[in-house]
Amino acid sequence: MLHEEKVMIPQHRIPDETTETTQVRELLEPVDLENAIVTADAAHAHFVFVKGNQPSLQLAICDAVQHGGPCEPDHTEVDYGHGRIIRRSI
């Protein structure tokens, strides 16, 4: 989708023997992505969950993702329930 123009760009039928997750790379291959923001369904994201009791691992992952950029999350959400406190950060 071109956000400014509000139009969809490449689309193709997903073969029966696979899912859309396996087709994203092929779909975007001919598209010039320089200086582009690509928006995809959550199914195309790769999530890593690291517990707070692994601070060194959390920092290593943050450094790898941010490549020296800021390590503070853009958004943090805290849930309280079932005897737990869960903090999620993006």
DSSP states of 51-77: -TT-HHHHHHHHHHHHTTS--S-S-EE
Contact assessment for residue 50 and residue 58, using Cβ atoms and an 8 Å cutoff: yes
Whole-model pTM over 0.75: no
Q: Give the C-alpha separation, 17 to 13, whole Å.
A: 12
The encoded tokens of residue 73 equal 């999350």
For residue 72, the model assigns a pLDDT of 75
At 25-54, the pLDDT tens digits run 777 888 888 887 777 766 666 666 777 788
Residue type at 25 in one-letter notation: R
Q: Give the C-alpha separation, 52 to 65, whole Å.
A: 18
